[in-house]
Amino acid sequence: MDLTAQNISKTAPEAPMIDPFGRAITYLRVSVTDRCDFRCTYCMAEHMTFLPKKDLLSLEELDRLCSTFIDKGVRKIRLTGGEPLVRKNIMHLIGSLSRHIEADRLDELTLTTNGSQLARYAEELAACGIKRINVSLDTLDAEKFKTITRWGDLAQVLRGIDAAQKAGLHIKLNAVALKGFNDHEIPDMLRWAHGRGMDMTLIETMPMGEIDLDRTDQYLPLSMLRASLARQFTMTDIPYQTGGPARYVQIAETGGRLGFITPMTHNFCESCNRVRITCTGTLYMCLGQEDAADLREPLRASTDNALLSEAIDNAILRKPKGHDFIIDRRNNRPAVSRHMSVTGG
């Protein structure tokens, strides 16, 4: 399979996609698979039923879909999963999409990974023009790591991080803050990450999909965690941005940056520039809402992109102002029925 032979559109980029609230949509997150080699307790049930492989978009279709969004003004693409690096032949897609970076039609191509496959793919990722990646890592304790991921091996992930840094990739660690599990470990993780030149971002758990636990037992407001960290670290708000929803502080004691993603305590919807596509071609205009648009049908209905482009435009006009996430004892059902691994975060 050779995707790199596809031509880059010769037409000038269209006007930026603008949603009903005046926000330009310049960031696309693409789930290339709902499958994962971990079973993180806050993300999915242990015994998941994944999509039949026949329902997934082909790599060629994913490439065409991404390229159409680039034509329409997207400047950043993040590949997600599940775990994106378990998708068969995923490097063919990444290598093909890198042509848009070389042509200055895309500012950044990146991915979020659990790190399990990084030792295998790090050098190839760097060769494809990927400069930085996010690695999801919630603890540096091997036993706790096994508990939270169910199937994961911390040593394998750490080898992957080593390989990625050796290949020249910049890494940001993403940690979901979980009450009574890793909250007391965060300061040491922060020192470890910054000591290795990695930024770190803390994320509140989100009510997506049925899991085996009660999320009210896991949920830790980052406002509380930040107040706790302020007793150990000097934190200064900074305007640094990576295109996502994190708000960053500079840590004086370590010299590194710490981000906070707070969908529950302080949503980031006012500046949302993102839409998400699932591996089946469903476009979600908001992570925390059920409204979606099917792009697979117009993608397959014609060899040109007119129908696809029209479907995208109609969907962007339905992008909501924000999400309605709630976690408390009265609302312990998921806000949306799909698991995070379906949408890709």
Question: Binding site for S-adenosyl-L-methionine, residues?
Answer: 42, 82, 136, 206
Extract the annotated binding site for [4Fe-4S] cluster. Answer: 36, 40, 43, 269, 272, 286
Q: Taking Cα atoms as reference points, which of 121, 57, 61, 128 lies closest to residue 97?
A: 128
Contact 53, 73 (CB under 8 A): no
**What are the φ and ψ backbone dihedral angles of 143, each rounded to 5 degrees?**
-70, -40
CB atoms within 10 A of CB 107: 14
Residue 81 Cα distances to 50, 76, 107, 341, angstroms: 12, 17, 21, 6
Extract the annotated binding site for GTP. Answer: 29, 78, 112, 172, 274-276
Q: Residue holding tokens 């922060």?
A: 190
Strand partners, 328: 331
In angstroms, the CA 192 to CA 32 distance is: 31
Sheet strands (E) in 13-163: 17-18, 24-25, 27-31, 76-80, 108-113, 132-136
Cβ neighbours of residue 256 closer than 8 Å, sequence gap 6 or more: 190, 193, 194, 197, 198, 199, 200, 250
β-strand 257-261 against 76-80: which pairing, if any? unpaired
Extract the annotated binding site. Answer: 29, 36, 40, 42-43, 78, 82, 112, 136, 172, 206, 269, 272, 274-276, 286
Contact 110, 98 (CB under 8 A): no
* Entry field: residues in the chain: 345
Q: Residue holding tokens 């998400």?
A: 276
- Tokens found for residue 258: 């710490």
